[in-house]
Amino acid sequence: MKKSIVLLSLLLVMAVILTACPAAPQQPQQQAQQPAAGQCPACTDPKGCVTIGKDEPIRIAWMFVVEGPDASLGTDTKRGVEIAKDDRPTIAGHPVELIGENEGCNAEGGQAAGTKISSDPKVVAAVGTNCSSAARAAIPLMCGAGIPMVSPSNTAPDLTAEDRPAEYWCYMRTAHNDRVQGAAMAKYAYEKGFRNAATIHDGSLYADKLQQVFAEEFKKLGGNIVAQEATDPNETNMGPMLTRIAAAKPDFIYLPIFIAAGGQVTSQAKQNPDLANVQLAGADGIFSPDFLKAAGDAAKGFLWSSPDFTAFGSGYADFLKKHEAKYGEKVLAPFHAHAYDAYNLIANAIEKVAVDCGGGVIQIPRQALRDAMISTKDMKGLTGNLTCTPTGDCADPKIAVYEGVSADPATWNPGADANSNPRKIWP
Amino acid sequence: MLQNLRRRLSATTVVMWIIGLLLLAMVFWGSFQTLVSGKYSGRVWLDLIVFGIAQGSVYALIALGYTMVYGILRMINFAHGEVFMSGAYMGYFVATALENRGTLDSNLLLSLVLIVLGAVVTSVTIAVLLERIAYRPLRRAPRLVPLITAIGASFFLQYTFRGFFGSGVKGYPEAEGLKGTITLFGLQLLKTQVLVIVAAIILLIALYTFVQRTKTGKAMRAVSEDKDAAALMGINVDRIIVTTFIVGGSLAGAAGVLYSMLFRQVYFLTGFIPGLKAFTAAVLGGIGNIAGATMGGLFLGVAESLFPNLVLDGLGIPAPYQLKDALAFLLLVLVLIFRPTGILGERLATKKA
């Protein structure tokens, strides 16, 4: 009797120890061995597999900046993903569940969002982040967990550069590379006769790299870069910095920064008598009606480089209709279509690699999913024909230059026709 | 004699003084280089100083709230930045309403009065509620307790505003009458800057008169010197403390409007950085000291505006304005190390609470 009690308690202790041992993410093979109803084969993928049970949804995460001064950027892409989900509610016979985190448009936010999402073993893939600074913090976390990540709006060149770190293997983007965007604005400025340009960045990865590309291209064309200044994203008093820039006598100022600081620079530059007639230009990060609110009247005549909506695929007009019907307003920023394409890129790849285990159970191998995504070829998306490079550049980039016609945010309807605000003026 | 000297100079003091001298040498070397290079005309420097004074007068108005509360309660009211932010918010709502009615453009003076009134009333209400709810019950608690409470109150206010009005940036409407520049003494100045500087000077004079010439002001000074003795002399200490919060709150409310006139944006974190900077200014001038807070604010504003171009440029640092905030807080650290009582000195009674 006593013996059996000892044995029983020993067994109990053993059982407790065994169950208490968490399935370490480093040993993905364990996940595959769970006795699912559909009896999936043992997972051989080096990064592990996700098993989706019968009627269980496929979990796709987003990491966007949905709060704070840059929330229009994140809300825009979030809506892109949501409309994509409406259009394609099931993938490989399973419904889709979207979860999301705010990435704050900074490294800290990217770190927080990446930690949260990558610790969820059911997440198959992620769309995000919006800001390159956030991406740089989130990518190692996501890749460490083997979750492929497609950004609809990171444009900093080094995220997909040839010499990017090996830990970026799971990352790709449907947004254009700023090598293209910076060069487009430099070309436009030079063609229009500007020769002395100044640039302003805010210390973010996106702004710093973009102004560098612009400066290099502008110099290559034969222009001068007379000043390269920097501010802080939360700075309000731009007067002193602008006075300093004015002393260098530029005729063109390129400020590829974000909304709060961009609005301050724009309105305060107009108050500076030496800069009142200097052409100001920004980039896709402030291509939003919220920028008109922040800059006020000074936004009239402002220039933006941004994706060329007129070059988008035929489905785009339809998308805009759905957007307005669903959210009751015009699109807020330029990357909704890129987010839509990112969702479909993930969905296509899942359908390609999912292993049917029978009984409505599927298994998605992570490395294979990423490989299928990055070998996407000639996918007909809203933003054009998407083909990924081996380092994750999937966009079909066509950049246009837009000009602000009115400072009234209610008139925001970019590129709808020749007279809409803002108006496409190049190419 | 040598022993005596050694006793007075510990190793740390010597190291600190060497660091101080090196920094001073760097400042002089940087300024010298910039001025010798002749890259910037006299007008650039004047413009920078004017920007600094405008920004500095807003800091000074907020700093006064910190300093007065510290003088009386010996506590740092870290929620004061939010009192300022609430004023800026209310100013925004009143200004937008007036803009929609057209009053802002047709009757500028009336609009300004209404905007400032709205802002001041809101800020005062919040400051008084803060005192009543968050600080008064803790008056006899250890000094750390109200400090932590103040930080909590600051977060509470920030996120309450976010909850009510969203996290986006609100753009202040621009009055026609305040657009453009005017020429004063051969200097081209922005109208908003002139307005801000003049308004700040009027408020500062009013405050000075109030504290030095009125009975209540005298009572405030008495309470700040010795609460118990003041109570024995028949001064209602609670009422004087509330008065201090009312005065500090109304200055913060006015500062909120002036700040929004200059920068025309307001959101729920608007008070955070200016609040920290004003706190720095109060410490710079000597906390508890009204003249010190004013001077500290102006000094900080001008330093922020001038030093990056003057010193950092000469030291060959690219894009120096990115380091503006770092410079401001470096000043705070240096003052705390070399002159912990601030430039004008802490004006405290020998018997500290």
DSSP sequence for A234-303: T----HHHHHHHHHT--SEEE----HHHHHHHHHHHHHSTTTTTSEEEE-GGG-SHHHHHHHGGGGTT-E
Quick one: average pLDDT of A312-322?
A: 87
Quick one: average pLDDT of A65-75?
A: 87
Report which of A426, A345, A420, A330 is spatially closest to residue A382, judged by C-alpha positions.
A345
For residue A26, pLDDT over 50 is answered with no
Quick one: average pLDDT of B180-186?
A: 80
Q: Which two tokens stand for residue B78?
A: 């870290």
Q: Tokens 């065994």 map to which residue? A: A18
Total domain count for chain B?
1
B264/A contact by beta carbon, under 8 A: yes
Show the CA angle centred on residue B143, arms to residues B138 and B146, nearest 5°. 45
Is B35 within a domain?
Answer: no
Quick one: average pLDDT of A389-404?
A: 89
Average pLDDT, chain A: 86
Whether omega for the bond prior to residue A422 falls within 30 degrees of 0, making it cis, is yes
Quick one: average pLDDT of A237-247?
A: 90
C-alpha–C-alpha distance, residues B339 and B344, integer Å: 10
Is B295 within a domain?
Answer: no
Is B237 within a domain?
Answer: yes
Q: According to the model, what pLDDT value does residue B5 have?
A: 66
B349: confidence class by pLDDT, cuts 50, 70, 90 = very low
Element (H, E) at A363: strand A361-365
Which domains, and CATH codes, for chain A? 49-175+335-396 (3.40.50.2300), 179-309+400-426 (3.40.50.2300)
- How many of the other CB atoms lie within 10 Å of CB of B330? 14
Quick one: average pLDDT of A28-44?
A: 61
Across the interface, whether the CB atoms of A229 and B321 are under 8 A apart is answered yes
For residue A13, pLDDT over 70 is answered with no
Q: According to the model, what pLDDT value does residue B2 have?
A: 65
SS3 state at A408:
coil
Dihedral pair phi/psi, residue B326, rounded to 5° = -60, -40
Among B169, B181, B273, the residue with its CB nearest the CB of A69 is B169
Residues of A within 8 A of B188 (CB-CB) are 273
DSSP classification of residue A312: S
Quick one: average pLDDT of B20-33?
A: 89
Q: According to the model, what pLDDT value does residue B353 have?
A: 41
Report which of B278, B244, B241 is spatially closest to residue B84, judged by C-alpha positions.
B278
- State what percent of residues in chain B have pLDDT above 90: 45
Task: Assign residue A50 a region (left: φ > 0; alpha: ψ between -120 and 50; beta: otherwise).
Answer: beta
B52/A contact by beta carbon, under 8 A: yes
Q: According to the model, what pLDDT value does residue B157 have?
A: 94
C-alpha–C-alpha distance, residues B174 and B182, integer Å: 17
CB contact at 8 A, A271 and A243:
no
Average pLDDT, chain B: 88
Residues of B within 8 A of A212 (CB-CB) are none
Is B135 within a domain?
Answer: yes
Rg value, chain A, Cα = 24
DSSP classification of residue B136: G
CB contact at 8 A, B190 and B174:
no
B227: confidence class by pLDDT, cuts 50, 70, 90 = confident
Is B158 within a domain?
Answer: yes
A240/B contact by beta carbon, under 8 A: yes
Q: How many CB pairs under 8 A join A and B?
A: 98
Q: According to the model, what pLDDT value does residue A2 have?
A: 53
Quick one: average pLDDT of A318-328?
A: 91
B57/A contact by beta carbon, under 8 A: no
For residue B248, pLDDT over 90 is answered with yes
CB contact at 8 A, A293 and B173:
no
Among B169, B319, B320, the residue with its CB nearest the CB of A260 is B169
- State what percent of residues in chain A have pLDDT above 90: 51
- Hey, which residues does A49 pair with through a beta bridge? A365
Q: Which residues contact A57 (CB under 8 A, 6 or more apart)?
A: A94, A95, A96, A97
Show the CA angle centred on residue A370, arms to residues A368 and A372, nearest 5°. 65
Q: What is the 3-state secondary structure (H, E, C) of B179-239?
A: CCEEEECCEEEEHHHHHHHHHHHHHHHHHHHHHHHCHHHHHHHHHHHCHHHHHHCCCCHHH
Among B44, B188, B265, the residue with its CB nearest the CB of A247 is B44
DSSP, residue by residue, B262-298: HH-EE-TTTTHHHHHHHHHHHHHH-TT-HHHHHHHHH
Q: Which domain holds residue B72?
A: 59-273
Q: What is the pLDDT of residues A342-354, one digit of tens each?
A: 999 999 999 999 9
Choose the mutation target among B37, B47, B189 for the interface with A, i.e. most A CBs under 10 Å: B47
pLDDT, greater one: A107 or B342? A107
Whether omega for the bond prior to residue A427 falls within 30 degrees of 0, making it cis, is yes
Q: According to the model, what pLDDT value does residue B185 have?
A: 78
Q: What is the pLDDT of residues A77-92, one digit of tens each?
A: 999 999 999 999 999 9
Lowest mean pLDDT among A6-10, A79-83, A393-397, B322-326: A6-10
Is B341 within a domain?
Answer: no
Q: According to the model, what pLDDT value does residue B149 have?
A: 93
Distance between A207 CA and the closest CA of chain B, angstroms: 13
Residues of B within 8 A of A332 (CB-CB) are none
DSSP classification of residue A343: H
A11: confidence class by pLDDT, cuts 50, 70, 90 = low
Q: How far is CA A207 from the centre of its chain?
A: 14
DSSP classification of residue A183: H
Is B319 within a domain?
Answer: no
CA distances from B102 to B68, B176, B265, B327 (A): 39, 10, 20, 42
Q: What is the pLDDT of residues B133-162, one digit of tens each?
A: 999 999 888 888 999 999 999 999 999 998
Q: How far is CA B324 from the centre of its chain?
A: 16
Q: Which two tokens stand for residue A418?
A: 């020749």
Across the interface, whether the CB atoms of B167 and A247 are under 8 A apart is answered no
CA distances from B353 to B130, B140, B231 (A): 21, 10, 14
Interface confidence (ipTM) of the complex? 0.83
C-alpha–C-alpha distance, residues B146 and B136, integer Å: 9
For residue B338, pLDDT over 80 is answered with yes
Rg value, chain B, Cα = 22
Across the interface, whether the CB atoms of A296 and B171 are under 8 A apart is answered yes
Residues of A within 8 A of B313 (CB-CB) are 244
C-alpha–C-alpha distance, residues A155 and A185, integer Å: 14
DSSP, residue by residue, A118-143: HT-TTEEEEEE-SSHHHHHHHHHHHH
C-alpha–C-alpha distance, residues A238 and A260, integer Å: 12
